Amino acid sequence: MYKCGLVLPLLAFGFCSVLQAYKWTSTLEENMHVSACVDGNVSFPWSMVTEGKEEKILDIDWLFQAPGKENVSFATYVDDNFVTNKDRFTFIPNAGLFLQGAQSRDAGRYYVIVSLHDPKCRLTSAQRMVTLTVADRPPATRDDALHVTLRDAVRDDVTEDWTLQLHCGLFVDFGHPPADVVWTTPSGEVRNSSYQDNGTFVLSVSSPVQGGNYSCQLHPSAPAARCLTATSPLNAAAQLYVDDKDVRLSFLEARQKEIVIQLSNLSTQFSQLNEKMDHFFNNPKELIKHRNSSSCVDWLEFDQRSGVQTVYVSGEPVTVYCDQTTDNGGWIVFQRRNDASVDFYRGWAEYRIGFGDPMGNFWLGLDTLHSLTTSRSYELRVDLQKYDLTKGHATYSGFYVEGAPHNFALHFDKFVGGNAGDSLSFHRGQQFSTKDRDHDNSGGCAQKFHGAWWFHACLHSNLNGDYGRFASSQGLNWLTFGSSYSMKFTEMKIRPM
Ligand SMILES: *[C@@H]1O[C@H](CO)[C@@H](O)[C@H](O)[C@H]1NC(C)=O
Ligand SMILES: *[C@@H]1O[C@H](CO)[C@@H](O)[C@H](O)[C@H]1NC(C)=O
Ligand SMILES: *[C@@H]1O[C@H](CO)[C@@H](O)[C@H](O)[C@H]1NC(C)=O
Ligand SMILES: *[C@@H]1O[C@H](CO)[C@@H](O)[C@H](O)[C@H]1NC(C)=O
Ligand SMILES: *[C@@H]1O[C@H](CO)[C@@H](O)[C@H](O)[C@H]1NC(C)=O
Ligand SMILES: *[C@@H]1O[C@H](CO)[C@@H](O)[C@H](O)[C@H]1NC(C)=O
Ligand SMILES: *[C@@H]1O[C@H](CO)[C@@H](O)[C@H](O)[C@H]1NC(C)=O
């Protein structure tokens, strides 16, 4: 009986008694990266330690895989002989392969597979992979040197924080593989570059900005930097001294620019307003009519674009979104869903007064919907869109909702038509329910289906459900337009009949 040993001794049980004789040494990690400069030398470290006497029968195979290609076997070590069809490779026992004069075509993955081979018990093999990168194009800047420049301060629109931007460049070629830089701040902190812009690496420094020297240099361990000639000026770090005055000036300048832009915007808006005023002063009747506008249909005469407008309901101004394109326009939109940014799983109070952004996802509010729909006779239109972008709609005549004392009960004369079918008649006459006000025929429909609707027991439609949720009836459902499918887009709108 032979005694065998290898890294994976498990498979050896039953055949051989195991000696923990062969082990990968720590020099080779599981997946290793090595890099070389073109025409340079590179070694593929590989090493195992042996402990016994009988472990000489090693069989080693090397495979090469060029990017996007198949594995190719290119070298073997068997019976103390190293055989390869790539003449620039040599084998150094217990140290690995040595490649002399690396070329771009040598870049790829190298596998080394070691197996203990003997006539009586063939044990399983163990393998390692090394990825070789060959830097074949050094980075280049416009004047062969790095420079750090201070650019405008910029404001983050979301956080409203100011940051100062330092740019390192100017690169005309980032090289292959692409160069990277590291920054050192006045306090000695080393930072990676946040992003690249127009041939420069950018360091964003948040306010308050530390004064002092900021320097940037090519990432020292990156192949791109290592392959530069020793005398290349690109090896030198670039530096910029930033003092408090520079920072203040940069911020001031940026703010000034912003103010100038805002001023010009304001003057544009002012002249537009002026035009409108002129229009009204020259046509006093229109002014009165404008004041009398009680729907988006009245607005069509002055402004054919869809957008936010003011309409008067019993003399009170109400801000609404007018859809002036669908079916000749004139629609007051009172519900819209087009992404998950606004939470619609809300309570009674919020459904009464409304929420969201009229330009995006919103619910106009039940109180307003009641005043509007009881001031004159309205038709209702529901527009829907699926994720495959097919569109559907449904229209109803004589739509109105009752007031708060009757919990905004839903009324209409009849379903008029539309390819989305009728999924609302089931709800006709029902009062509105939210998660905290239950007026349905089943008990807790709003909670069960994460919505707010004129629930019955419980639903054929649920357009205030969870956006993007496809669980049964939990999404934006319209039974006759895709069963329990959840819509990508919904809009509910009204127009005087
Ligand atoms: C590559 O290795 C060969 C042989 O060891 C040596 O003569 C040559 O100088 C090396 N070249 C580089 C760039 O190190
Ligand atoms: C190439 O060979 C290695 C070692 O056997 C294997 O792990 C790898 O999956 C192979 N790759 C392809 C693409 O066949
Ligand atoms: C900087 O980038 C290098 C690789 O380019 C990465 O190894 C290192 O973790 C990064 N450091 C930080 C602080 O992000
Ligand atoms: C890119 O940099 C060049 C040279 O500094 C400059 O002329 C150009 O305006 C910059 N382009 C952008 C988009 O910033
Ligand atoms: C910044 O760098 C310059 C030039 O290397 C040096 O003279 C100056 O003392 C440095 N300033 C600080 C605050 O480190
Ligand atoms: C001008 O003002 C409008 C309305 O406030 C705003 O939407 C737009 O982004 C502004 N434009 C600029 C360039 O600030
Ligand atoms: C404005 O409305 C009032 C009452 O609703 C009406 O009497 C008047 O004729 C309207 N004016 C115009 C110009 O439409």
Q: Say yes or no: CB of residue 49 within 6 Å of ligand 7.
A: no
pLDDT at site 480: 94
| CA of residue 184 to ligand 4 center, whole Å | 25
Phi-psi region of 147 (alpha: psi -120 to 50; beta: other; left: phi over 0): beta
| CA of residue 343 to ligand 3 center, whole Å | 37
| CA of residue 100 to ligand 1 center, whole Å | 7
How far lies 68's CA from each of 33, 38, 108, 113, 353, in Å?
18, 21, 9, 21, 60
| CA of residue 479 to ligand 5 center, whole Å | 72
Give residue limits of the domains in the chain: 22-135, 140-249, 289-496
Question: pLDDT tens-digit profile of 393-420?
Answer: 999 999 999 999 999 999 999 999 999 9
259 contact partners, CB below 8 Å, separation of at least 6: none
DSSP letter at 368 equals H
Yes or no: domain 289-496 corresponds to CATH 3.90.215.10: yes
Q: Say yes or no: CB of residue 289 within 6 Å of ligand 7.
A: yes
| CA of residue 201 to ligand 3 center, whole Å | 14
Residue with tokens 């520079």: 246
DSSP letter at 176 equals B
- Ligand 2 site residues (CB inside 6 A) read 63, 65, 71, 111, 113, 127
Which residues of the chain, if any, have pLDDT below 70?
Answer: 1-30, 47-58, 116-125, 160, 194, 247, 249-250, 283-292
| CA of residue 135 to ligand 2 center, whole Å | 24
End-to-end CA distance of the chain: 98
pLDDT at site 313: 79
The pTM for the full model equals 0.48
Q: Say yes or no: CB of residue 41 within 6 Å of ligand 1.
A: yes
**Helix (H) or strand (E) run with residue 282 in it:** helix 244-282
pLDDT at site 1: 33
pLDDT at site 379: 97
Q: What are phi and psi of 9, to 5 degrees?
A: -70, -20
CA gap 283, 289 in Å, rounded: 10
Nearest to 459 by CA among 475, 447, 469, 445: 445
DSSP letter at 487 equals P
The answer to whether domain 140-249 and domain 289-496 are alike in fold is no
67 contact partners, CB below 8 Å, separation of at least 6: 107, 108
Cis peptide before 177 (omega within 30 of 0): yes
Q: Which ligand is nearest to the CA of 199?
A: 4
Q: Say yes or no: CB of residue 292 within 6 Å of ligand 7.
A: yes
The alpha carbons of the chain give a radius of gyration, in whole angstroms, of 36
Q: What are phi and psi of 350, to 5 degrees?
A: -70, -35
What is the fold of 22-135?
Immunoglobulin-like (2.60.40)
Q: Say yes or no: CB of residue 213 within 6 Å of ligand 5.
A: yes
CA gap 483, 465 in Å, rounded: 14
Yes or no: domain 140-249 corresponds to CATH 1.10.1060: no
Q: Which ligand is nearest to the CA of 210?
A: 5
Q: Say yes or no: CB of residue 180 within 6 Å of ligand 3.
A: yes
